[in-house]
Copies of this chain bind each other. A is one copy, B any other.
């Protein structure tokens, strides 16, 4: 039964006063979001969702701009949270494959709306940035 979830969605839609929601739950959810709402986590999640299984270096190439350290760290974190599985093949050239779990896939699906939003609003964001610059007298070097 997803009544709570529907209620939550409706509340979001009408932006009104929040019904009695467990502040404890709220805090837990916030904490969970804090861990998951990381830029590297999100991008890795997306890449893995698209590519299926990938090796360490493959991942490093797909996720442009990440350092090995952060890649390792983020992958470990995601493994801890149960979002990815790490499979080590004990062969002479070491081979480690990363793959999303069902939990990871479901998060990817949930996050899909944000990617769509990002694609749709690229232009709007750029305009907003330009407008902000103007508002703050862009020429000011200070």
Footprint of B on A, CB under 8 Å? 1-2, 4-6, 8-9, 11-13, 15-16, 18, 25, 27-30, 32-39, 41-43, 49-52, 64, 79-83, 101, 103, 105-122, 124-125, 127-129, 131-132
Contacts and interface: CB of A to CB of B under 8 A. Distances in A.
Given A33-B115, A116-B9, A132 B39 contact: no
A113 B113 contact: yes
27 contacts: A9-B109, A9-B112, A12-B49, A12-B108, A13-B105, A15-B50, A15-B51, A15-B52, A18-B50, A25-B122, A29-B115, A32-B125, A33-B118, A34-B39, A37-B39, A79-B132, A80-B132, A81-B128, A82-B129, A82-B131, A82-B132, A83-B128, A103-B124, A106-B117, A107-B121, A109-B113, A111-B117
A30 B46 CA distance: 10
A121 B105 contact: no
A29 B132 contact: no
Contact of A27 (B41, B64, B119, B129): B64
A129 B33 CA distance: 15
A19 to B, nearest CB: 11
A5 B52 contact: no
Contacts of A124: 82, 103
